[in-house]
Amino acid sequence: REMVFVTGNKGKFGEAKEILAAKDIELIQNKDGYPELQEDELEPIAAYGAKYCAEKLKHPVMVDDSGLFINALNGFPGPYSAFVEEYLGNQKVLKLMGDESDRAAVFKSVIGYCEPGGEPVTFTGTVEGEIAHEERGSGGFGYDPIFEYNGNTFGELGAEEKNKMSHRKRALDKFFDWLD
């Protein structure tokens, strides 16, 4: 079985490809992109993106809208995670946190899926962790070096470990339970 994943993010694609290989699904990357709605929640962004791409490509597609929600920053960067990563980066996010003692954060991934002529569906996966005091580890991508889970940052975990319990893995599991 094949699945088209519309994303420009190499890290997301690589992880999803590995996770789905175990389910015997071949993932194909499409980098065409889609308009991202400005919303507080990731679900409508993923739903709109999936619908837009399914109609444009005339093919079933999945998208993944994800974000890091930091408790002490009232959920920021959340839906602005890509923008903040690009324009500020991990060091500035750490600076924003300062010596704040509440380090709680949630990584969230929303898979949007749609078939041409159909309505989009979404599947949400979350993982709870903490914002580290410094960047650690060279694995993964994006916010991985500052997101701690059970004492290790996602940057310190290998892809295999991260893919066992990440927000993306949890969202993809729900999606493929639904597809079957």
Q: Is 147 helix (H, G, I), strand (E, B) or coil?
A: strand
Q: Which of 64, 65, 173, 180 is flagged as catalytic?
A: 65
Let me know if 177 is a catalytic residue. Answer: no
67 is an interface residue for ligand ITT by CB under 6 A: yes
Among 82, 94, 159, 179, binds Na ion (CB under 5 A): 82
**Binds 85, which of Na ion, ligand ITT, none (CB < 5 to 8 A, cut-off by type)?**
ligand ITT
Least distance from ligand ITT to the Cβ atom of residue 42, Å: 8
Q: How is the chain classified by DSSP, letter by letter?
A: -EEEEE-S-HHHHHHHHHHHHTTT-EEEEE---------SSHHHHHHHHHHHHHHHHTS-EEEEEEEEEEGGGTT-BGGGHHHHHHHT-HHHHHHHHTT-S--EEEEEEEEEEE-TTS--EEEEEEEEEEE-SS---SSSSTTGGGEEETTEETTTS-HHHHHHH-HHHHHHHHHHHHH-
Among 44, 78, 112, 142, binds ligand ITT (CB under 6 A): 142
66 is an interface residue for ligand ITT by CB under 6 A: yes
* Beta strand 26-30 pairing with 2-6: parallel
Least distance from Na ion to the Cβ atom of residue 82, Å: 5
73 is an interface residue for Na ion by CB under 5 A: no
Stretch that binds Na ion, among 81-89, 107-115, 127-135, 166-174 (CB under 5 A): 81-89
Which residue, 117 or 151, is less far from ligand ITT as judged by CB? 151
**Binds 81, which of Na ion, ligand ITT, none (CB < 5 to 8 A, cut-off by type)?**
ligand ITT
Is 76 annotated among the ligand-binding residues? no
Q: What are phi and psi of 63, to 5 degrees?
A: -130, 165
| Catalytic center residues | 65
- Output the known binding site for Mg(2+): 36, 65
